[in-house]
Amino acid sequence: MAKVKQFQQVSKGKEVKEMQSDRLLRLRQVLELVPISKSTLWNWTRQGKFPAPVRLSRRTTCWKLSDVQRFIEKGGLDNASV
């Protein structure tokens, strides 16, 4: 019984962590994490250097937090500017 309870606690913690990393960020929030200009962000997105956004509607674009974090962790600023 204790093993089942322990597994449930671990799996719940993992779900919360995944939910937080799958948060959607608007452009302003992305630019706070990645200190580049708006035009550079869109250019890198078109060139495939920056993660693709998620279109919520015709005028609403977001990025997954997990994608932006992965970009930063892989040294994306150094690699993309080349």
Q: Say if CB 81 and CB 36 are below 8 A apart.
A: no
Reported CATH class of domain 23-80: mainly alpha
Q: Say if CB 27 and CB 61 are below 8 A apart.
A: yes
55: helix, strand or coil:
strand
Residue 34 has what pLDDT? 94
Residue ranges covered by each domain of the chain:
23-80
Tokens of 13: 């913690």
* Among candidate residues 19, 43, 31, 13, the one with its CA nearest the CA of residue 68: 31
Each residue's pLDDT tens digit, 15-60: 555 556 689 999 999 999 999 999 999 999 999 999 999 999 999 9
What are the residue ranges of helices labelled H in 22-75?
A: 27-33, 38-47, 65-73
